[in-house]
Amino acid sequence: MSVVDAVKEIQARENVYVAYSQVTKLPYVTCAEETYNDQVWFFAEEETLKEFGKKKIEEKILLMGMKYEKKDFPRLYGLLYAVGVNSLVWNNGTEEIEVDLDKIVRRPDLSKLEPEKRPLINATLQLSGIYFMQELRRPVAKEERKNIRELEEELIANLKKSEFLVAMEQNTEDPAKVNIPYLKNKEGKILQPVFSDVLEYEKFAKGKKLRIAKIPFAKLADVMIPQAEFLVINPLGFNLLLNKEQLKKIMG
């Protein structure tokens, strides 16, 4: 199978199956050994994806499958660009080949939009967060985690230079005030959500009437509500928890 054949196959599909990480709730991402591309895994058949998932269990990597219909392909490709992926591995049931994402779909050009109208996209941070969490939450002994220190350092570097979306809702009793929505974990601790990009925000805000503010990482500790024990970055994504002390330590 050539790359051209693979592209035609993918574009003609009525649906595809995508390998997702159970720990990030995002496509499972790997770094290609030869090309060093950041790649995701597409399958024509659900059974082949299940076989792939069983093999990964041996490495203590927990996956799940997501089925995408043709009408949802634009949303899928938008997600892949938003998390920094630049290629995919296509498995048609008999053969497997790596394909550059740009050969399948055109990369969105946000530069044509006026700066204030551009949605916040933070692909570098998303990608480093995905790699770090995929390894950190792999159920193995600490000494078996691969490159965890390097992954953490890269994530921290990207956190420091990023902006985030903070959600707010109007106080119904006093329109001059705003409330900051929060979450509770299983232990009852209060977590304040913030979002690395507009896609992560939209997962959370679905059906809610919220406003957003764009805040640099250095200011996140200042906007934490008093009752929040942790800030949670992308709670419906890679779900990174940081307390106020950790936020200040990262900034140095």
Q: Does 232 lie in the same domain as 173?
A: yes
pLDDT, tens only, 111-128: 777 777 778 889 999 999
Q: Does 146 lie in the same domain as 86?
A: no
Quote the pTM value. 0.91
Please check the confidence at residue 136 and state whether its pLDDT lies above 80.
Answer: yes
Q: Does 126 lie in the same domain as 229?
A: yes
pLDDT of 23: 95
Give the CATH number of the domain where residue 72 resides. 3.40.1350.90
Q: Does 178 lie in the same domain as 200?
A: yes
Between 167 and 169, residue with greater pLDDT: 167
User: 56, 90, 108 — which closes off a domain?
Assistant: 108
Encoded tokens for 72: 């949802």
Mean pLDDT, residues 3-17 taken together:
93
pLDDT, tens only, 41-98: 999 999 999 999 999 999 999 999 999 999 999 999 999 999 999 999 999 999 999 9
Q: How far, CA to CA in Å, does 99 sit from each of 13, 55, 185? A: 15, 22, 40
Give the residue among 228, 21, 251 at the shortest CA–CA distance from 136: 21
Q: Does 121 lie in the same domain as 102?
A: no
Q: How far, CA to CA in Å, does 166 sit from each of 22, 129, 135? A: 25, 18, 27
pLDDT of 1: 83
Give the residue among 70, 74, 68, 71 at the shortest CA–CA distance from 27: 68
Please check the confidence at residue 175 and state whether its pLDDT lies above 70.
Answer: no
- Report d(CA 52, CA 193) in Å as an integer: 33
Helix then strand then coil, in percent of the chain rounded to 5, is 40, 25, 35
The DSSP code sequence of 18-79 is EEEETTTSSB--EE-TTT--EEEEEESSHHHHHHHHHHHHTTT--EEEEEEEGGGHHHHHHH
Mean pLDDT, residues 212-230 taken together:
92
User: 69, 88, 108 — which closes off a domain?
Assistant: 108
Q: Does 170 lie in the same domain as 122?
A: yes
pLDDT of 172: 66
| DSSP H or E run through 31 | strand 30-31
Encoded tokens for 125: 């941070």
Domain boundaries, position 161: 115-251
Between 156 and 109, residue with greater pLDDT: 156
Residue 118: DSSP 8-state: S
- Report d(CA 194, CA 215) in Å as an integer: 9
Please check the confidence at residue 143 and state whether its pLDDT lies above 90.
Answer: no
Q: Does 243 lie in the same domain as 147?
A: yes
